[in-house]
Amino acid sequence: MIHVQNIAKSYGNIQALRGVSFDIQPGEIVGLLGPNGAGKSTAIKIITGFLHPDEGLVEIDGLNVLRELRAVQAKIGYLSENTPLYPELSVQAYLRMIADLRSIPEPDFIRRLSDAVYGVGLQDYLTRPIASLSKGLRQRLGLAQAILHKPQFLILDEPTVGLDPTQIVEIRALIKSLAQESTILFSSHILSEVEAICDRVVIIINGEVKADQRLSELSRSNDATLVLQNDSDDVERSLNALAGVERVQPLRSLDDYPAYRISGSVDITPRIYTVARERDWAVRELRRDTVTLESFFNQLATTA
């Protein structure tokens, strides 16, 4: 697992991280989400051992990143903001160089090369000079170098930045497929990306963790919306009288029918359904409201 405990970092008088903590369990895909300048890259550089924190501790698979950096780096694949790619080298020569740096044994090289290039869909470009590759293909090559040694942990900084929409879809699908083999942490400032790829999101704003949330739990809200065909005097009172109801807010639906937003301490939609039947209300719609990552994030960002 990845254990990040209270890491802090300042650049001069800019406090980039103010005590960030989170854990990532084996097999999870976690998105580190935040606006530009929130501290995501700084956190990732510290987690991968490329930057020393002023305070705090990072352990990867029980190893202290500062004290056991080489052992940690053998376990991680890292795609940085700007992975150095050597333009004059061919794809194959570049991956060969990475394999040497990673001390991949010679007999394993062809197998690893083949797994990585097929994994990222670069098999037809092996002899092409890196200089001739599009931005999307270079990003794939960045991923290929990150997975060449079959790392247990993949850490990706803004993996789709600068790609066109088709390439973004492809890289997202690729990251998801890599999760079968590795635990993945990736940073992004794009809500939809995090929503599409990850199990859990750690939201970082202004150098602080503002939320650590499983996406599957995010959508479960105890709010419900009821839309009726006509106005009726007793609706608000009856809804307020239901067990578990905390607040009833009358409003109008977009198509101008009487509507109520009902907040509960538990899921109260079944009770609303029962009372609506008992009172014979003409129900146009009854739904349990969902919280999108966007609404959740906006709420955090405006209260930050």
Instruction: For the segment 19-78, give every residue that binds ligand ADP (CB under 6 A).
Output: 34, 36-42
CB of 198 to ligand ADP, least distance (A): 16
Bridge partners, 181 (sequence order): none
- Comparison of 163 and 228: residue with beta carbon closer to ligand ADP: 163
Between 10 and 219, name the residue whose CB sits nearer to ligand ADP: 10
Q: How far is the CB of 75 from ligand ADP (least distance, A)?
A: 23
Least distance (Å) between residue 37 CB and ligand ADP? 4
Cβ at position 87, least distance to ligand ADP in Å: 25
What is the C-alpha separation between 48 and 35, in angstroms, rounded? 21
**Burial of 162 by CB count in 10 Å (0-12 exposed, 13-18 middle, 19+ buried)?**
exposed
The answer to whether the beta carbons of residues 210 and 300 sit under 8 Å apart is yes
**159 is a site residue for ligand ADP (CB under 6 A):** no
How many Cα atoms are found within 13 Å in the side-chain-facing hemisphere of 66? 11
Choose between 32 and 137: whose C-beta lies nearer to ligand ADP: 32
Check residue 11 for interaction with ligand ADP (CB under 6 A).
Answer: yes
Give the residue with the Cβ less far from ligand ADP, 19 or 37.
37
CB of 13 to ligand ADP, least distance (A): 10
Is residue 14 a contact residue for ligand ADP (CB under 6 A)? yes
Shorter beta-carbon distance to ligand ADP: residue 7 or 24: 7
How many binding residues for ligand ADP (CB under 6 A)?
Answer: 11
**DSSP assignment string, 164-186:** -HHHHHHHHHHHHHHTTTSEEEE
d(CA 104, CA 100): 6
Q: How far is the CB of 7 from ligand ADP (least distance, A)?
A: 12
CB of 46 to ligand ADP, least distance (A): 10
137 vs 84, 85, 133, 204, 286, CA distance in Å? 14, 12, 6, 29, 48
Separation CA 282–CA 227 (nearest Å): 9
Decide the pairing of beta strands 200-205 and 2-11: unpaired
Q: Which is nearer to ligand ADP, 1 or 51 (CB)?
A: 51
Figure out which of the listed residues 4, 7, 16, 95 binds ligand ADP, where binding follows CB under 6 A.
16
CB nearer to ligand ADP: pick between 16 and 276:
16
Q: In what order do the strands lie in the sheet with 2-11?
A: 14-24, 2-11, 55-60, 63-64
- Give the binding site for ligand ADP (CB under 6 A): 11, 14, 16, 34, 36-42
